Structure 1
């Protein structure tokens, strides 16, 4: 079992990873030539000029998110949780790292003038990205159940809402990137909503699990059980 100081340090990694990833894709999306953040996916920021910055963000954020999962495991075990939830957060982190190493193929009109195609690198990028887009809603759904069973109803509702909004945003984005005309113009926006919700949830969760308020609530539950 980790010491309290080690838990807090690892949980801070979750906060840092969430802030870094969202900040980088928001900034790059606003300055990259020919790139439309409403239409194009975050992964496309790794193509062309300044692409290295997005790739590095994927990798560093992935390492930080993966590290935070070990702090979560130590805390959640005391709530009666198991390896499933931190394991899914690890899947998110590893997915980010893999997405950083393997660049996506052109999609939805970016880069301009390049036809979409399928390469081995692009397939690997999609494979690792699945860890992010499946890991977030699965982890938040399981955590909603755990928080409800331990009488943290506000957090249970927050986790459930995260799963629903993230899953909906991801589904709409996928329809747009698949070329459906009703969804294509705003596919990038739908994806960004999903990612901001997912990483916002991770940030809030990391902050809460290392807070004194959580410790007091947990201690009360133990003494009255």
Structure 2
């Protein structure tokens, strides 16, 4: 009888363990966006010579304190990749977790591959963009493009998922978040005024939507 009771309890215990693991993984996804945004914006506000209307947040990875932003990118990437596993366990969408994982891998690569100093930052750097780009700066640009494309797609895929699930408000938020990053990136790529600011706003909006998604499905 003891063996039977233990066998009866085992599946329930396994489910509870799996649920706790999934919640922990989703917790990593929930932390990624706000942590990345807070560390980035704090540095943007306190670094001498940094101007968010002219300088992308990635430029914070240069200079004496560049290791802070490098670590911020790498940690955010790890949290996103980890959280993608939790998202795969929590929702039936096939592509949303994959796209979140690609976003995380892109963030990690963007942290490791540092862009070149440019446009007066760090202080002492000549104005304008450098005449030539290093291999790691080119790699950073490629990693950033992959990150943003995957993140935009993830928001739109999640919008479709939540709409099918009847969560129309969350679906609308997903669409608006993806569109904010799409427009912010496009404006920056075309050299529009304050393009780095619109890009940062779009990226933070989309990243924080992943936080909202993680908290939503955790419930």
Confirm or deny a common fold (TM above 0.5): yes
4+ runs deviating over 2 angstroms? 105-112
Structure 1 unaligned spans of 5+:
177-182, 212-225
User: How many Å apart are 1:53 and its aligned residue?
Assistant: 0.2
1:197 is aligned, of 205, 208, 212, to: 205
User: How many Å apart are 1:188 and its aligned residue?
Assistant: 1.9
Greater Cα offset, 67-76 or 1-10: 1-10
User: How many Å apart are 1:168 and its aligned residue?
Assistant: 0.5
Q: Which residue of 2 aligns with 1:219?
A: none
In the alignment, structure 1 residue 105 sits paired with structure 2 residue 112: no
**What CA distance in whole angstroms lies between the structure 1 residues aligned with 2:154 and 2:77?**
16
Could you list the per-position Cα deviations for residues 24-73 of structure 1 after superposition, in whole angstroms to 9, with x for gaps in the alignment?
11011111111101210011000102100000000011100110000001
Asked whether the equivalents of residues 66 and 93 of structure 1 are also in contact (C-alpha less than 8 Å), the reply is: yes
User: How many Å apart are 1:124 and its aligned residue?
Assistant: 0.9
Following superposition of structure 1 onto structure 2, how do residues 46-195 of structure 1 map, counting pairs within 5 Å?
46-77=61-92, 81-82=93-94, 84-111=95-122, 112-113=125-126, 115-116=129-130, 117-176=132-191, 183-184=192-193, 186-195=194-203
Q: Which has the larger radius of gyration?
A: 2
User: How many Å apart are 1:108 and its aligned residue?
Assistant: 4.3
Give the root-mean-square deviation of aligned CA atoms. 1.6
Asked whether the equivalents of residues 118 and 126 of structure 2 are also in contact (C-alpha less than 8 Å), the reply is: no
**What CA distance in whole angstroms lies between the structure 2 residues aligned with 1:173 and 1:157?**
24
User: How many Å apart are 1:110 and its aligned residue?
Assistant: 3.1
The two structures have a TM-score, normalised by structure 2, of 0.86
Instruction: Say how many residue pairs are matched.
Output: 200
Q: Which residue of 2 aligns with 1:218?
A: none
What secondary structure sits across from 2:133 in the alignment?
coil
**What CA distance in whole angstroms lies between the structure 2 residues aligned with 1:206 and 1:131?**
22
